[in-house]
Amino acid sequence: MIRELHIKNLALIENMTLEFRSGFTVFTGETGAGKSILIGAIGLLLGERASAEMIRSGSDEAEVSGCLEIENMRPKLLDFLKESGIEADGGNLIIRRKISRSDKNRIHVNQVPLPLSTLKKLGDLLVDLHGQHQHQSLLNESTHADMVDALPEAARAKADYVNSYNSYTAARQELHDAQKRARELAEKRDVLEFQYRELSALDPKAGEEESLEQELSLLSTSAQRLACAKEILTLLNSSVDESLQKKLSQIKRKLESFVKYDPAVQPWINDMESVLSTCSELDLFCSDYLQRSGSDNSQSRIEEINGRLAKIQRLKKKYSCALDDLIAKKQHTKESLSQLENSDSDIKQLEKKVSKICGECLKFGQTLTKTREQTFLSFDKEITRRMEQLGFNGGEWKTDLQPLSEPGPHGLENIRFLVRTNKGEPFLPLVKSASGGEVSRLMLAVKSILARQDEIPVLIFDEIDTGIGGMLAGEVSKALYSLSSTHQVLCISHLHQIASAADHHYLVAKKSIDNRTVTEVCELDDEQRTAEIARMLGGESQISIQHARELLKENRRG
């Protein structure tokens, strides 16, 4: 529901804050008092287009803000808020819109900046505004299927169909992607085959480049390495005096004699054993190293390694990547060629899958169509009956199904509402057959039937009383009040029958302040309300006042 509305420097409104409550609220006042400005301000919060001409003269910008309190947010609204990045903790939405003469218009919802198109979509989910306004969902044929499918009889069949249709669209997308991928691969077949041959010829291995460079480094230091190994062997096995190992063995024997007299010498014996073992192993290593290195300094091997590294560097530069990426590219190219070879088979499988799911979708769609046809019989009949009550004598309502060539998001047919407002006239779409006031009354009839299922929490009726009066006005007032048990209903009216049925009554009036005209809106207490309804009855005579009191007493609830 709309909890609060603040308007600043909009047309004749200088600065105004209104607080609203649930139920049925009516706005009355003399013609030209500014009721249309009030509705226009709400329209701005719902995404209707703004103009610099709306800004109060003498001001550079106008601002409209509103606080909407949403209880039990429906999934569609929750999904929209999530997609738009809007958090609605506590179920409150604060919409703020500024209009500037410099065209720097700004829109924020819970401090999140939004474009006008997004605000319009949000407004469509929050408020139905009926009159000469853009937010008349009844005139938007894309909403008609959702309205009727909200009825319990059709809701389950629609849910089953939507699940099946979503699977169908997902399968079609999968097929489309596979076909697109196959076309792209086919166009690149020659390139892929050349790349694969080139990479396969090189056949790079992980870590190969580093290993080759290490081997090359060893080969290029062969003389130095062999000299070091020979010198170590000479030192270990020198025969000039005694070899290093022989001297160490003699020291070890002396220590073994020493330990007989002093146990503290034992650790040195252990260390000498370790040193002797190391010397023996070093002797074997150097001997083996000299034997193995006899062919290491092979110039042909150096040329072979340099050639291999050059090929690797060339392909790395060509493909602008590291060696590991070359390996991955080879595998990816191989997989792409494999996909190309198998694409015809894969596409045929996907086509079978799409065909199967389409068949299932058609079955659910046919069930939905039958359910709709049965639902429409009672729905159209009930709307027609309500139309009679609301002044469309001889009028009739008809829900039209137009078959589609393939399953659509709403079923196997487009749904639109047709109406004839007078007997003998042809059925026409609402936008071509009804005035603003008539559309408002038609929506009142529709909303009365869909009250429990309708997801839009706020209904605003402007011009609903155009061209009606007497008993018909009484029927309209009853319908509005009944609808207010499930929605917040706001209505601008010139009729006392409607005004006296409301829970809350606001007066819109012009005043002159400091030689400037301003529009003010104030909530009426019982005495003020009696006087206003008396004025609407034709004057301030005692008879009018007494009649006003009787109307209010008759319509007072609980």
> Residues 192, 338: one domain?
yes
Find the length of the chain. 558
> Residues 220, 278: one domain?
yes
> Residues 558, 467: one domain?
no
> Residues 146, 159: one domain?
no
Cα–Cα dist 331/182, whole Å: 18
CA distances from 526 to 166, 496, 512, 549, 553 (A): 55, 15, 26, 9, 11
> Residues 123, 6: one domain?
yes
> Residues 145, 196: one domain?
no
Q: Which domain holds residue 532?
A: 526-558
> Residues 102, 225: one domain?
no
pLDDT at 407: 93
Fill in the amino acid letter for 407: P
Residue 451 phi/psi, 5° resolution?
-50, -45
- Residue 541 neighbours by CB under 8 Å, 6+ apart: 534
| Structural domain contains residue 511 | yes
> Residues 507, 537: one domain?
no
> Residues 104, 164: one domain?
no
| Structural domain contains residue 384 | no
Domain boundary among 307, 339, 371: 371
Domain boundary among 338, 371, 404: 371
Alpha helices in 220-322, H assignment, sequence order: 222-236, 244-258, 266-292, 299-319
**How confident is the chain (558 residues) per 10-residue block, as mean pLDDT?**
92 91 92 84 88 88 91 81 85 91 86 91 85 59 80 86 94 90 78 82 85 77 71 70 76 80 84 87 83 64 82 88 88 82 80 93 94 88 87 87 91 90 84 70 80 78 76 85 89 90 92 86 92 86 86 72
| Structural domain contains residue 403 | no
Domain boundary among 339, 371, 403: 371
pLDDT at 558: 42
| Structural domain contains residue 407 | no
Cα–Cα dist 384/397, whole Å: 5
| Structural domain contains residue 437 | no
pLDDT at 515: 82
State the CB neighbour count (10 A cutoff) for residue 123: 23
> Residues 518, 534: one domain?
no
Is residue 441 within a helix (H) or strand (E), and if so which, with residue range?
A: helix 436-449
Residue 252 phi/psi, 5° resolution?
-60, -40
> Residues 218, 335: one domain?
yes
| Structural domain contains residue 256 | yes
pLDDT at 272: 85
**Residue 191 burial (C-beta neighbours within 10 Å; 0-12, 13-18, 19+):** exposed
The tally of domains found in the chain comes to: 3
| Structural domain contains residue 422 | no
Model pTM above 0.75: no
Q: Which long-range contacts (CB under 8 A, 24 or more apart) does 196-204 make?
A: 196/330, 196/333, 196/334, 196/337, 198/315, 199/315, 199/326, 199/329, 199/330, 199/333, 200/330, 202/311, 202/312, 202/315, 202/326, 204/312, 204/315, 204/323, 204/326, 204/327, 204/330
- Distance, CA of 267 to chain centre: 77
CA-closest candidate to residue 108, choices 155, 28, 45: 45
> Residues 92, 196: one domain?
no
The CATH number given to whatever domain includes residue 491 is 3.40.50.300
| Structural domain contains residue 415 | no
Cα–Cα dist 173/201, whole Å: 38
Cα–Cα dist 422/392, whole Å: 7
Helix 189-202 and helix 323-389: axis angle, to 10°? 150
pLDDT at 548: 86
Cα–Cα dist 462/465, whole Å: 8
Cα–Cα dist 556/537, whole Å: 18
Cα–Cα dist 492/496, whole Å: 11
* Strand ranges across the sheet with 127-130: 127-130, 458-462, 488-492, 24-28, 504-513, 516-523
SS3 content of the chain, % helix, strand, coil (to 5): 60, 20, 25
**Residue 512 burial (C-beta neighbours within 10 Å; 0-12, 13-18, 19+):** exposed
